Amino acid sequence: MRSATRKTDLLCRTGGEEFALICPDTELNDTRLLAEKLRALTSTVPFDDVGQVTCSFGVATWIPAESFDAFIQRADTAMYSAKQSGRDHVQLAAV
């Protein structure tokens, strides 16, 4: 994932099998395209213990008036929506 992201992007594990990728100064569509790229890239990498891995992404753009918790909740809701759509999807968050 590091090879597909910028030095200014922040990738971190948020717990369990969930990760967050913060992409400063990035438009929603560009972030969606990056998520699609990362999703496709991950599906090509074999993992020794489990085989093929899929990724579901929830993509949100921070709205200046909202709290950080609300922002994360929107992204999280979109991610669970992507999982419910059959997994291995990218879902944009509602505004």
User: Where are the domains positioned within the chain?
Assistant: 28-92
Position 50 scores a pLDDT of 85
Q: Which residues are catalytic?
A: 17
Instruction: List pLDDT tens digits, range 20-61.
Output: 999 999 999 999 999 999 999 988 888 888 888 889 999 999
Closest CA to 32 of 93, 94, 88, 92: 92
Closest CA to 19 of 67, 55, 43, 73: 55
Mean pLDDT of 1-15: 90
Average pLDDT along the chain: 92
Position 74 scores a pLDDT of 96
57-78 burial: b if 16+ Cβ within 10 Å, else e = bbbbbeeeeeeeeebbebbbeb
Mean pLDDT of 69-93: 94
More reliable by pLDDT, 68 or 46: 68
